[in-house]
Structure 1
Amino acid sequence: MSYVASLPLHGADAQLLAVVVAIRAARTGVGNVTGQDLRSLRLADAEGAVAALTALGWQARGDLIAGSPDVPVGIAVPGLTDGGDHRLPFGKVMRSRVSGWTSRTLNAKPVKKTPPAARLAALFLAAHGRPYRPSVLPEDLPEHCRAALPDLLARNFLKELDGDTYLLGDAVRHVAGKRTAPVPTVRVPDEEEPVSWDVWKGEASVALRRHVEAVESCPLCGLSTARVSEAFMRKPVPAQADEKVRAAYAAWRENQSEPGPRAARFAADFRAAHGHGPSVKQLCQGISERKQPRRLRIYLVRQLIAEGWLTNTEPVPWTLRPGKAAAPSGTSAPRVRAS
């Protein structure tokens, strides 16, 4: 991806085509592409993209536009044939794997029907991304790709987008280019053995256990046992609200009409339907049209709690409910009991 970003190409169409050709030309300096391959990229201007590569000296040994769609056309890439120092470090097996990875990423459901700039951005982010941890936006990410990032967030290709950091969505973790080895479990003699989920619930109070069971068995949320247990058993870590988060909150607040009353009503309706309160993420999704980064969601809910529109039983998750400020309007949390 960095190799393509370094080329004097300015459009997403040409850059996306260059990625495919460069990967296929990595070992021999010649990449074979068919007319069907070109059409599958769904470029806005395929002829312009081919012309842009030709202007760089990439020579097609045939007619890629009007020729037979099934006949491979070799494209010679001078920068990959001028000696070993110029070749991409791919062996035969690695080249095939990278080519397959490119196809899987471009055809991932969240981006399959997006414009070329969004799919090119998806390749950059997947190549530099890790499956379960936030990653930093690559420095050589083209500007037209940066403009497509909100669309990738809205389509769930990205789970989080916070300034220059991002987290790949759950559905595309398998295409993450930077794999991290699992952290080995090291037993510290002075530490207690971690308890199992069943043991933890058995040691919880009656009221807490009822709440846990209401969340765990909620048919509307459909949460996995792993997700519920992780939320209840993890140690709370305070989220820092820096200037960027506060500025994002101020911008969000300016465009909202009565967010406090709406949040209180949503929390009350949610509890009545589910038998438990919403999570921070569920509440923010219920009162906002756009997805927000995790730190903004936490700060947003904290502000609503500070203003009295919401309250909760911190640090117990899924306990948000209307606060005292909502009482005059008649919005109150229904009393619910888990069966």
Structure 2
Amino acid sequence: SAWAEVTADTGLRLDAERAEQAAATARLQHLHRSGQAPEGDGPAVTRLLTASAQWNHARAVLTHVADHAPLPGPEARLLVVMLTLRTAQSGVGNLVGQDLKGLPLPDPEHLVGQLVESGWLDIAGTVDELIASRPENPTRIGVPSLTPDESDPGPFTFGRKMRPKLSGWAQRVVGEKKLRKAKTSADARLLALALATGVSLDGQLGPEGEGLGPEALSSWCAIDPGDLPELVDRLTAADWLTEVAVTDTAV
């Protein structure tokens, strides 16, 4: 833009302004994707969902993924949950390499490749190109099973404005500093996300503080119910949970 000002060339100035606007848009999209906020806007998302409808929508996504997961195991489940949130509503969305690198996945390239081979995920280009993509040039992805048509509006009832809110919130929970500092694995991050769908404003788990059912939690997290106590201990050690007991009927 400085050169445009020096030369007083209107065409150059307009091109420069468009380029600056495109770069700003790319940066803003990346902030939203990663659950951050533009400077001065405060936190874009918090750990808590503050309305029962949001709880229901988040749990609906976890339940849908549990019922239709294309691959076994918590690492694949975490990735599928995040991609489902990214593509819910239209069946398509944008992804950059950092979205994958920010998850606790030892081999994200392999997982993405498996999802593509299974037919669950479509990507523009190659897996390597996706991993290398940046916010200013994201990779287009698609999930055919989430693409609506005239006879099937899709599995979710939340609107277009709610989808990025849920996606950004989940990104923030999964990437929370305490969980990253403790180097928690995919199963612990999934449990944190699942528990966060039922945290009230006063920090209690479940309606009236009665906790959440272990069967649903283990199903959402692709783990055995017997693994819940150890994962709760890990989240407690990371200072993500406090005063939580695991029983046969509730966490």
User: Which bracket does the TM-score occupy, shorter chain normalised?
Assistant: 0.5 to 0.7
Match of 1:69 among 129, 133, 137: 133
Tell me the alpha carbon deviations over residues 3-24 of structure 1, each in whole angstroms, 9 at most, x when there is no partner: 1112132122221111111111
- TM-score normalized with structure 1 length: 0.45
Q: 1:129 to 1:165 in 2, by over 3 A?
A: farther
Match of 2:211 in 1: 135
- TM-score normalized with structure 2 length: 0.59
Matches within 5 A, 1:1-339: 1-6=62-67, 7-57=69-119, 58-67=121-130, 68-70=132-134, 71-83=137-149, 84-112=152-180, 113-130=183-200, 131-132=203-204, 133-137=209-213, 139=216, 140-141=219-220, 142-143=222-223, 146=228, 148-159=231-242, 160-163=244-247, 164-166=249-251
Q: In 1, are the aligned partners of 2:113 and 2:127 still within 8 Å (CA)?
A: no
Match of 1:184 in 2: none
Structure 2: segments with no counterpart, 5+ residues: 1-61
Tell me the alpha carbon deviations over residues 173-222 of structure 1, each in whole angstroms, 9 at most, x when there is no partner: xxxxxxxxxxxxxxxxxxxxxxxxxxxxxxxxxxxxxxxxxxxxxxxxxx
How much does 1:103 deviate? 1.7
SS in 2 for 1:92: coil
Larger helix share, 1 or 2: 2
Count of residue pairs the alignment pairs up: 166
SS in 2 for 1:86: coil
SS in 1 for 2:161: helix
Larger Rg: 1
SS in 2 for 1:143: coil
Q: 1:53 to 1:129 in 2, by over 3 A?
A: farther
Q: In the aligned structure 2, how far is the partner of 1:48 from the partner of 1:13? A: 11
Q: In the aligned structure 2, how far is the partner of 1:3 from the partner of 1:49? A: 19
Q: In 2, are the aligned partners of 1:24 and 1:95 still within 8 Å (CA)?
A: yes
SS in 2 for 1:32: strand
Tell me the alpha carbon deviations over residues 261-312 of structure 1, each in whole angstroms, 9 at most, x when there is no partner: xxxxxxxxxxxxxxxxxxxxxxxxxxxxxxxxxxxxxxxxxxxxxxxxxxxx
Tell me: higher relative CO, structure 1 or 2? Use CA pairs within 8 A at least 6 residues apart. Answer: 2
Q: In the aligned structure 2, how far is the partner of 1:55 from the partner of 1:135? A: 38
Tell me the alpha carbon deviations over residues 127-150 of structure 1, each in whole angstroms, 9 at most, x when there is no partner: 233332242135223216735232
How much does 1:82 deviate? 4.5
- AA aligned to 2:211 is S
Q: In 2, are the aligned partners of 1:26 and 1:89 still within 8 Å (CA)?
A: no
Q: In the aligned structure 2, how far is the partner of 1:11 from the partner of 1:43? A: 12
Structure 1: segments with no counterpart, 5+ residues: 167-339
- AA aligned to 1:63 is T
Match of 1:328 in 2: none
